[in-house]
């Protein structure tokens, strides 16, 4: 509890530093100040106190769930945790977060829990019930291999890639989103969501690691078709595209989790920035970097003055609507990467400063789950607005990307070596 009190005091100071360091008469927002900087923004929170907080929260979480196979998804004010099974699309984020804590602390006591919450997902390598197996296995097994080079993880990564590729429809050029493969013959359309770009990292890793160009061919086709069909002229994105499964013609461009079909859903934008970053990292094809930059610029233009995005930039309730901390965390990760990839000093500074700014403002008492009853890190994410589920709450993928952003900000994220 003393650690939490100390952190709260430091966070309160950090908030003041963030918002009131500028002359109030200028009425310059934090975002404006960052975009006008000629030097790189710095972390404005106490890193050691934050580490203590992270360890404290996940120690509580591990004690609650034990060593079973029910994976934490949400933490509640009554002290309970909502758990899910291994077939949930979010099942890989908890193990991935534990790997990140191991990387952050260098403490070997985090190895065993990271391994446990990774290896319970072993059956997912054959699972045909959902497209998100790339998320599920790469966030867990992928990070585990990245940090330990455990050779026993490689067959799982390869088989998951094989299973994921069964969803590729050559007539369309993308991987099928949603639905069990056994049901595909009865589905009227071939759906693809913008989130699916994140599954491509598994395929690109596997293509290089196993000398399997078929994986990268499918990933490239999916990325190219998504760029053609999901990205609007203003570089916002559609969440879902329905294709004719026989000839690949676009049937409908729409949303599933955004405000409306034509709106700018914040988390969808961050998936796109991150996804095209990844494709550029692996291919070095400039078209992917250019696209990531355009989508990032659009995203930054629409950010509010304190940077943390509204869940959908076109919600007419703004500013009296919800923020999405998960989108902020994902964006911070993606923009850190983009700042390293771009060969342009002005853009490098812009992306770096917004990435740090997002991390700074997520690391405040407004967004961190500092109340003792919580067993998570970040509050105030929006999962599925239209179904009214996980609204203004904590979700395990927000923690995962927040930890990743922190590692990148500290310069201790170890890039994968094939």
> How many Å apart are CA 390 and CA 386, to the nearest integer?
10
Is the per-residue pLDDT at 402 higher than 70?
Answer: yes
Lowest mean pLDDT among 78-82, 101-105, 255-259: 255-259
Average pLDDT over residues 261-282: 97
pLDDT of residue 224: 98
Q: Once rounded to an integer, what is the mean pLDDT over residues 248-261?
A: 94
Give the helix, strand, coil percentages of the chain, each rounded to 5.
Answer: 55, 10, 35
Question: How many CB atoms sit inside 10 A of residue 55's CB?
Answer: 17
Rounded Cα distance, 168 and 19, in Å: 48
pLDDT in tens, 106-118: 999 999 999 999 9
Q: What is the pLDDT of residue 184?
A: 72
Q: What's the chain's average pLDDT?
A: 93
The yes-or-no verdict on residue 263 having pLDDT over 90 is yes
Contact 303, 374 (CB under 8 A): no
Residue 181 in tokens: 């493969």
Q: Evaluate if residue 25 carries a pLDDT over 50.
A: no
pLDDT digits 0-9 by tens, 303-362: 999 999 999 999 999 999 999 999 999 999 999 999 999 999 999 999 999 999 999 999
Q: How would residue 27 be classed by pLDDT, with cut points 50, 70 and 90?
A: confident
Higher pLDDT, 365 or 183: 365
242 pLDDT higher than 70:
yes
pLDDT higher than threshold 50 for residue 23: no
Bridge partners of residue 81, in order along the sequence? 75
Residues annotated catalytic, as ranges: 132, 195
pLDDT recorded at residue 26: 53
Tens-digit pLDDT profile for residues 125-178: 999 999 999 999 999 999 999 999 999 999 999 999 999 999 999 999 999 998
- Evaluate if pTM is beyond 0.85: yes
* Contact criterion met (CB below 8 Å) for 108 and 138: no
- pLDDT, residue 182, reads 81
Whole-angstrom distance, CA of residue 264 vs CA of residue 236: 6
Instruction: Give the pairing type, strands 250-254 and 381-384.
Output: unpaired
Which H or E element spans position 218? Answer: helix 213-230
pLDDT (average), residues 405-414: 96
Give 416's pLDDT tier (boundaries 50, 70, 90): confident
**Model pLDDT, residue 7:** 58
Percent of all residues in the chain with a pLDDT value above 70, rounded to a whole number: 93
Tokens encoding 353: 């400063």
| In the block, residue with structure tokens 């490098």 | 348
Please give the share of the chain, as a percent, with pLDDT higher than 90.
Answer: 87
At residue 250, the 3 state secondary structure works out as strand
Where does the pLDDT of residue 57 fall: very low under 50, low under 70, confident under 90, or very high at 90 and above? very high
Query: What is the Cα–Cα distance from 321 to 36, expressed in whole angstroms?
Result: 28
| Cα–Cα distance measured from residue 230 to residue 252, given in angstroms and rounded to the nearest whole number | 11
Q: Is the pLDDT of residue 15 over 80?
A: no
The answer on pLDDT for 379 being more than 70 is yes
d(CA 199, CA 223) in angstroms, rounded, equals 10
- Split at pLDDT 50, 70, 90, the class of 258 is confident
Q: Is the pLDDT of residue 12 over 60?
A: no
Q: Cis omega before residue 319 (within 30°)?
A: yes
pLDDT tops 70 at residue 191? yes
Q: What is the pLDDT of residues 71-83, one digit of tens each?
A: 999 999 999 999 9
Contact 201, 278 (CB under 8 A): yes
Q: Tell me which of 129-138, 180-189, 398-407 is least confident.
A: 180-189
Structure tokens at 244: 């004719």
Mean pLDDT for 168-190 is 88
């Amino acid at each position: 509890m003393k650690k939490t009190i100390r952190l709260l005091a430091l966070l309160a100071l950090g908030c003041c530093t963030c918002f009131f360091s500028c002359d109030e008469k200028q009425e310059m927002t934090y975002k404006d100040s960052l975009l006008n900087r000629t030097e790189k923004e710095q972390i404005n929170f106490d890193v050691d106190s934050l580490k203590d907080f992270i360890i404290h929260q996940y120690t509580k979480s591990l004690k609650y769930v034990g060593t079973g196979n029910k994976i934490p998804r949400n933490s509640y004010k009554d002290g309970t945790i909502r758990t899910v099974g291994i077939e949930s699309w979010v099942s890989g984020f908890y193990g991935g977060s534990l790997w990140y804590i191991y990387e952050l602390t260098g403490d070997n006591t985090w190895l065993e829990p990271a391994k446990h919450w990774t290896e319970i997902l072993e059956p997912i390598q054959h699972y045909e019930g959902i497209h998100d197996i790339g998320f599920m296995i790469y966030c867990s097994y992928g990070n585990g291999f990245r940090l330990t080079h455990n050779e026993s993880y490689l067959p799982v990564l390869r088989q998951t890639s094989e299973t994921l590729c069964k969803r590729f429809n050559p007539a369309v050029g993308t991987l099928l989103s949603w639905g069990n493969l056994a049901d595909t013959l009865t589905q009227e359309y071939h759906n693809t969501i913008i989130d699916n770009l994140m599954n491509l990292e598994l395929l690109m890793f596997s293509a290089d690691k196993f000398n399997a160009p078929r994986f990268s061919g499918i990933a490239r086709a999916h990325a190219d078709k998504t760029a053609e069909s999901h990205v609007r002229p203003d570089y916002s994105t559609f969440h879902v595209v329905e294709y004719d499964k026989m000839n690949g013609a676009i049937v409908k461009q729409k949303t599933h989790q955004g405000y409306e079909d034509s709106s700018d859903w914040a988390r969808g934008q961050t998936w796109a920035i991150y996804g095209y970053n990844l494709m550029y990292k692996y291919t070095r094809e400039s078209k992917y970097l250019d696209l990531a930059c355009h989508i990032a610029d659009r995203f930054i233009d629409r950010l509010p003055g304190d940077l943390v995005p509204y869940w959908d930039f076109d919600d007419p309730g703004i500013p009296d609507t919800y923020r999405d901390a998960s989108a902020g965390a994902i964006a911070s990760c993606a923009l850190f990467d983009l700042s390293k990839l771009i060969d342009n000093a002005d853009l490098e500074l812009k992306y770096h400063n917004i990435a740090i700014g997002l991390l700074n403002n997520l690391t405040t008492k407004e967004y961190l789950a500092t109340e003792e009853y919580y067993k998570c890190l970040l509050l105030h994410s929006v999962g599925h607005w239209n179904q009214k589920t996980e609204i203004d709450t904590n979700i395990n993928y927000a923690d995962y990307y927040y930890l990743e952003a922190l590692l990148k900000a500290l310069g201790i994220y170890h890039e994968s070596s094939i």
